[in-house]
Structure 1
Amino acid sequence: MTNQSFLHKVFCDISLEKDPDLWQNDEDTEEKNIERIRFISEFSETLYKVQLDKDRSSNRKNSDLCRAMKEKGNKSYGSGDNLTSLTQYNQALMYSSKKEDTALILANRSALWFDLGEHDLVEKDIDLAMRLGYPDNLVFKLHERRAKSRFAMEKIEEAKEDIKLAQKYLELSKLDELKKKKKFNEFDVVLNKLKNSKERNSSKLLKDGNPSPEHILPKLASNKKFPAFSDAVKIKFEAGRGRFAVSARDIEVGELIAVENAFVALIDKEFSKTHCWHCLICCKRPIPCDRCSGVIFCSDDCKEISTSSYHKYECMFTDILYQANLGAWRLAFRALTSYPWSYFQENLDVFLGRNELQGLEGEAVYSSQDILNFHSLVTHDGSANKKAPELMMQAHVVVFLIRVLRVAEYFGSGESAELKLSEDEINAARILHHFMRAAFYNTHEITQVEKTGPGFDENHVQRIGRVTNPTLALINHSCDPNYRRVSTSTRTFGFACKPIRKGEEISDIYCKPFSSSDIQERQKSLQKYNFTCNCTSCQRNWPTLPDLPTQLNDLPSQLYKIPVNKINNQIKRIQRCEENLKKILKQKDYSVKSIIDILSSIVDQHYKLLYSPHGSLVYYENQLHQALLHLYSAKVGPKVLQATTISWPL
């Protein structure tokens, strides 16, 4: 939490008031934390009446702003500035509070999609505009436009039906009789042309050159106990270490060993108006929330899932929750509100308990979507050397989130203005406090790739949000990891970036790698995770990349894995692989999958020759990661028309 938030200001204002001993107590037990929560809730400042007043919310709908942005969109569209117009129509939709206004804006946006050649989006916007009650006297225009888009998509029968409906609704238009007759005859001509056209083959697949990861991702070999892992991964437990992942068999370089859909996810503030609130993908065609102006969705499905569960408890407060600067603690709030309070009431004993062996006992499958597996993640309760101010701030944040839940009627109708927390609120506070720690120590970044050029390695990786993956969180840290993550939407793929032998621990990375950060910087960065890294690169204090050797010949003998008489032949194998890579890259339309295969071979051949650390190992592992990002990550790129540039999903 930064020093800029309103929460921090209130915290400073009430610090050391009433009970100085408690403010300075660093005992980290559940009993003491409950005492802190009750104590903080007694301050009237923690009601946050101004911040939680729905009538003052910056997330309210606004008809005046809706109308202004629509008019700006019309003006930009009229001048041919389609991308600016798109942005303005999207903003108008977010502020719209009336179905009829939303229908008109969607109809206008469909014209823009038509000009951009996005015919599937023409169809979707027109469908929604009609469902929302687009005026009958104008609807013939939408049927005509949709018919043209369906014809462009070779949906001939549906296009015919649209033309017939356009003729039907033409009678309700305000055109004079002469214009109606002329338009009717034009529709007849179009209809005759459509009768001579052929329907598209419905089995036609995705466009060549733009495959989806779902179609090209290697199949994950089934792990019956931990289905987000492949059968190459085994989870073990040691007292003092907790759960960790090891290889159940030899794992090849580039092998897919994990695919997990996050249990809980949250988009970063700067992407909240361009990316889906639920699945975190960049939205080409954003759909607004019906109640607030703070979020968008990529589809009706994401909107329905979100608004029927967690979003109804944050709907008018998304800006305030961002302004609170809660970091990963926001995920705790999302986790709690993904379930009704009645669920926690029915399972209170379970959620007030702890189980570090979750997934290791019994035959139950460790599901990524089971909240109990999120609940069981490591929290370092009582062992993280937390100072008194941090413990009090955690209690303060819990109280603030309980106030949000109270105003949002999470515990039922009948908003209370009492300072004292009810029994239900205290129990929810205990669960939230635990969830906050689970999220803090077990959060991954979700990223997208901004393409800076056509090459597989021309990638700028952007963090767009946070997620908690209950399965991938079981993988521990190393400053020289043997596994890399790639994400698209809220799904994360895990690939081996080194050969991993049977029984070897599988490692992720929580900070910068040894190659780009010295040991002092890394250890400082890792302090917040409550451990001192003891990986090989830290034990031996490996140098950073500029000081690593890059040549393969004439190295000290201890850097070679093989006898001296075999070194030259192994170097030649590596050089042949490198030559093959150069040949592939010279091809105009090379396959990125072939690049991944050859880079995996190069990394593997290097590890047959060398021990770490070595500059070539670092370089080719990074190149392999770049190729994996290019093929499997969510990607965006610049969309440029006239003088306007926007980020566009690829």
Structure 2
Amino acid sequence: MWRSPAFFQEFLNEQGMVGNLYDAIEKDDLSDAVIVALDILKKTNNIPPLVKDVKCKSKSSTYRQQGNKEYKSGKYQKALESYNKALMFAPKGSEELVFAYSNRSALLATCKMFQACLNDIDTCFALGCPTQITDKLSKRREESLKCLWMERMTSEIRYSEYAEQYLDFIERRNPQIGCASTDVGVIIESHVPKVVAIRDVKVGKVIAREKAFVSQLDRKYKYSACYYCHQMNFNLIPCETCCSALFCDEDCMQTCLEEYHGVECHIVEIFDELSSVPVPKLSVNAAIKFRNECESWEEFNEATSSLGLKRMKESEINDIFDGDNKLSLLNFRDDAPFKFGMVYNNSFGCAMVLHYLGKVDSFLPSRSAEKVAAVCGFCRLLMYFALNLTHTQILSTFSVIAPGRTEFSDVANFGVFPFTGKLKGACNPNVLVLGLNDEVALIALQPLKPGMELTIAHLGHWMDNNIEIGLRWRNMFTLYGTACSCVVCNGDWKLLRQTAKPTETHLRCLRKLNVKHALENFCLTEIESLYPKCCKTLAFLSDLPFSNEYIDVYKLFRKCLLDIQDQCSSNVMLDCSKDEDN
């Protein structure tokens, strides 16, 4: 079924099984569709086996030796990731675990990451260091302590107080939406809430900062960033149970285990199978976390009995938009088009998840009556999430030690945001979503007037990525169910760029900024004076959003934000030799 869905559909028709699923889809309670789909998968023997990766000394040793080769070849980032793979596969308490930490400490010392090197050496001794490497590690620790001042001096050179404070978002919070400022509010139109500006907001103003309810790290960064908070870290530690997660510290690991990974850890390999069907990992983890935040299955079942627009019409504003309130996850709109086909496809993916979750100890109730109700409630929520959750892109940044520059990530992570994910989508938005690992900051990109609805670009701002026109249209449809034909998606902005002509007033404003000179001589220490000027000029050109002049100013605006993002995200790579297969 998973590799040939069309063939499977034909097979079900021949067996007379499709009718039962269609009847279940017609019902209001979508849990019925999942339960029927699971019954079909069992009867047709189409539940794929769960092939688990297990901790293995030989695999760990192989990855460590691979890291040694890459280290000697000067491919430091690849070596770091190979050592992290070695950690991930090393059994708890094994010498292979200590050797992986030891070899990683040598790499970090070579790259002048002395504090990180010392952290790994301390871990080696805490785990019980084998005698054959004790003297080597002691000498490395002594040398690293002597050189620690160099690393601290480099960090001070890169420090900008303005950049650090800019995204701190210390203003008065909105009493109904904890992640947002008092610059925004909510109005109700046709029983549906809409987020608007309630006062004049200038370009560059931070109007919200929100942490994801759950987030998903792109597989490209699986061996270089924290599974939970997404921060790139030189001292990642492995999950003790699975071979799929690394964490930046014990706190991140424990939090992730409590929220969802303690359950997900046992079934994480099924998501490779689910890549061919539309049941995102985010939806599963969001459902698990929501259950874990409920006191009991009774509370869970009661909460999930009302979902989507039906619930939204009866909910308070904080129940809809406040991410600290778990009920906000139940208030995403559920009126998407093409629903029948989406329910049909998702029912099989949700059924497979349900099958393997049922095998996780203590997740579902043991008593028969309670278990039936819990299964129905969880299926209902899982299907609702799979169909309706908006997955917001988180495009982060990182610094590269060699050759010493800051870059956008070339792939995006994703998160579920109860506030940001409910904002109206627009390909030329008035609010920019700035990625900060597992958080986002919302920044006014155009002057906002009272009553103006906030809009964001779900696929990222069109000037921040070079997505081909056809691919952008496809991604909009695949990820968000929107067949967009705007000037950005159909490419007409290129024609508008040629015809948009600035007035003399526009040009005078541009001359004051001198964009070309600012880009050529860009310096972190000048952001405090340059960025406000850039925001003012961008606001002045907001009536010419596709002109060459606006695009040039936006590039400078984004260059300033790139370094602000970088300092607030604290992501560092050793070099650009990342393995494309990771």
Alignment TM-score, normalising by the size of structure 1 = 0.74
Aligned partner (choices 86, 90, 113) of residue 84 of structure 2: 90
Aligned partner (choices 182, 185, 193) of residue 231 of structure 1: 182
* Cα distance in structure 2, aligned partners of 1:628 and 1:589: 10
Q: Which amino acid aligns with 1:392?
A: Y
Deviation per CA, 1:352-395, whole angstroms, max 9, x where unpaired?
Answer: 1232147645x879531322111212222xx63423x4322222
- Asked if 1:398 corresponds to 2:329, the answer is no
2:146 aligns with: 151
Deviation per CA, 1:586-627, whole angstroms, max 9, x where unpaired?
Answer: 3666523433222212112224xx466645335534542343
Aligned partner (choices 95, 99, 104) of residue 104 of structure 1: 99
Alpha-carbon distance change, 50 to 603 in structure 1, aligned in 2, over 3 angstroms: closer
CA RMSD of aligned residues (A): 4.2
* Cα distance in structure 2, aligned partners of 1:425 and 1:453: 50
1:51 aligns with: 49
1:369 aligns with: 324
* Cα distance in structure 2, aligned partners of 1:306 and 1:218: 24
- Asked if 1:492 corresponds to 2:486, the answer is no
Contact 1:523 1:533 in 2 (8 A): no
Q: Which amino acid aligns with 1:378?
A: R
Alpha-carbon distance change, 481 to 71 in structure 1, aligned in 2, over 3 angstroms: closer
The more displaced of 92-101 and 578-587 is: 578-587
The more displaced of 223-232 and 482-491 is: 223-232
* Cα distance in structure 1, aligned partners of 2:17 and 2:301: 31
Deviation per CA, 1:469-520, whole angstroms, max 9, x where unpaired?
Answer: 1011231123331111110211101111111112211111235879999899
2:127 aligns with: 132
* Cα distance in structure 1, aligned partners of 2:18 and 2:56: 46
1:320 aligns with: 270
Q: Which amino acid aligns with 2:455?
A: S
* Cα distance in structure 2, aligned partners of 1:139 and 1:220: 47
* Cα distance in structure 1, aligned partners of 2:188 and 2:45: 43
Aligned partner (choices 53, 60, 71) of residue 54 of structure 2: 60
**Deviation (angstroms), 1:29:** 4.0
* Cα distance in structure 2, aligned partners of 1:16 and 1:581: 67
1:288 aligns with: 238
Deviation per CA, 1:555-593, whole angstroms, max 9, x where unpaired?
Answer: xxxxxxxxxxxxx4x245313323376257436665234
Secondary structure of the residue that 1:99 maps to in structure 2? coil
Aligned partner (choices 400, 406, 409) of residue 361 of structure 2: 409
- Asked if 1:462 corresponds to 2:391, the answer is no
Contact 1:233 1:246 in 2 (8 A): yes
* Cα distance in structure 1, aligned partners of 2:495 and 2:339: 37
**Deviation (angstroms), 1:28:** 4.7
* Cα distance in structure 1, aligned partners of 2:515 and 2:123: 51
Alpha-carbon distance change, 35 to 306 in structure 1, aligned in 2, over 3 angstroms: closer
Secondary structure of the residue that 2:269 maps to in structure 1? helix
Contact 1:577 1:602 in 2 (8 A): no
* Cα distance in structure 1, aligned partners of 2:123 and 2:460: 46
Contact 1:574 1:606 in 2 (8 A): no
Deviation per CA, 1:455-476, whole angstroms, max 9, x where unpaired?
Answer: 9998555233211110112311
* Cα distance in structure 2, aligned partners of 1:86 and 1:534: 44
* Cα distance in structure 2, aligned partners of 1:21 and 1:485: 44
1:471 aligns with: 419
**Deviation (angstroms), 1:452:** 9.6
2:31 aligns with: 34
Between Structure 1 and Structure 2, the one with more helix by share is 2
Contact 1:15 1:23 in 2 (8 A): no
* Cα distance in structure 1, aligned partners of 2:407 and 2:116: 28
Aligned partner (choices 554, 577, 582) of residue 517 of structure 2: 582
1:244 aligns with: 194
Gaps of 5+ in 2: none
Aligned partner (choices 546, 549, 567) of residue 616 of structure 1: 549
Aligned partner (choices 190, 196, 209) of residue 158 of structure 2: 209
Deviation per CA, 1:28-69, whole angstroms, max 9, x where unpaired?
Answer: 5423x33322322223167766522xxx41x21112112233
Alpha-carbon distance change, 455 to 121 in structure 1, aligned in 2, over 3 angstroms: closer
Equivalent residue pairs, number: 561
2:380 aligns with: 430
The more displaced of 21-30 and 594-603 is: 21-30
2:456 aligns with: 508
* Cα distance in structure 1, aligned partners of 2:91 and 2:10: 39
Alpha-carbon distance change, 111 to 457 in structure 1, aligned in 2, over 3 angstroms: closer
Alpha-carbon distance change, 586 to 398 in structure 1, aligned in 2, over 3 angstroms: closer
1:352 aligns with: 305
Gaps of 5+ in 1: 156-199, 554-567
Aligned partner (choices 106, 115, 120) of residue 110 of structure 2: 115
* Cα distance in structure 2, aligned partners of 1:350 and 1:588: 52
1:171-210 map, 5 Å:
206-210=155-159
Deviation per CA, 1:6-38, whole angstroms, max 9, x where unpaired?
Answer: 88876665456334434556965423x333223
Secondary structure of the residue that 2:156 maps to in structure 1? coil
Secondary structure of the residue that 1:90 maps to in structure 2? helix
Contact 1:456 1:627 in 2 (8 A): no
Contact 1:581 1:595 in 2 (8 A): no
Alpha-carbon distance change, 486 to 78 in structure 1, aligned in 2, over 3 angstroms: closer
The more displaced of 305-314 and 475-484 is: 305-314
* Cα distance in structure 1, aligned partners of 2:313 and 2:69: 62
Q: Which amino acid aligns with 1:597?
A: P
Alpha-carbon distance change, 211 to 277 in structure 1, aligned in 2, over 3 angstroms: farther
* Cα distance in structure 1, aligned partners of 2:529 and 2:338: 49
Secondary structure of the residue that 1:107 maps to in structure 2? helix
Contact 2:399 2:407 in 1 (8 A): yes
* Cα distance in structure 1, aligned partners of 2:314 and 2:409: 34
* Cα distance in structure 2, aligned partners of 1:625 and 1:484: 10
Q: Which amino acid aligns with 2:342?
A: E
1:277 aligns with: 227
Contact 1:406 1:415 in 2 (8 A): no
Deviation per CA, 1:95-147, whole angstroms, max 9, x where unpaired?
Answer: 11141321232123222322222111122112222222223675454344323
Contact 1:69 1:88 in 2 (8 A): yes
Q: Which amino acid aligns with 1:577?
A: K
* Cα distance in structure 1, aligned partners of 2:444 and 2:451: 14
Aligned partner (choices 530, 533, 557) of residue 598 of structure 1: 533
- Asked if 1:625 corresponds to 2:558, the answer is yes
Overall identity of the aligned pairs, in %: 17
Secondary structure of the residue that 1:407 maps to in structure 2? coil
* Cα distance in structure 1, aligned partners of 2:72 and 2:469: 56
* Cα distance in structure 2, aligned partners of 1:82 and 1:520: 33
Q: Which amino acid aligns with 1:125?
A: D
The more displaced of 497-506 and 205-214 is: 205-214
2:19 aligns with: 21
**Deviation (angstroms), 1:448:** 2.5
Secondary structure of the residue that 2:32 maps to in structure 1? helix
Q: Which amino acid aligns with 1:480?
A: N
* Cα distance in structure 2, aligned partners of 1:208 and 1:406: 54
Contact 1:445 1:465 in 2 (8 A): yes
2:281 aligns with: 330
* Cα distance in structure 2, aligned partners of 1:46 and 1:277: 36
Contact 2:25 2:344 in 1 (8 A): no
* Cα distance in structure 2, aligned partners of 1:407 and 1:6: 26
Secondary structure of the residue that 2:442 maps to in structure 1? strand
1:547 aligns with: 496
Alignment TM-score, normalising by the size of structure 2 = 0.82
Which of the pair has more CA radius of gyration? 1
Alpha-carbon distance change, 589 to 247 in structure 1, aligned in 2, over 3 angstroms: closer
* Cα distance in structure 2, aligned partners of 1:269 and 1:327: 17
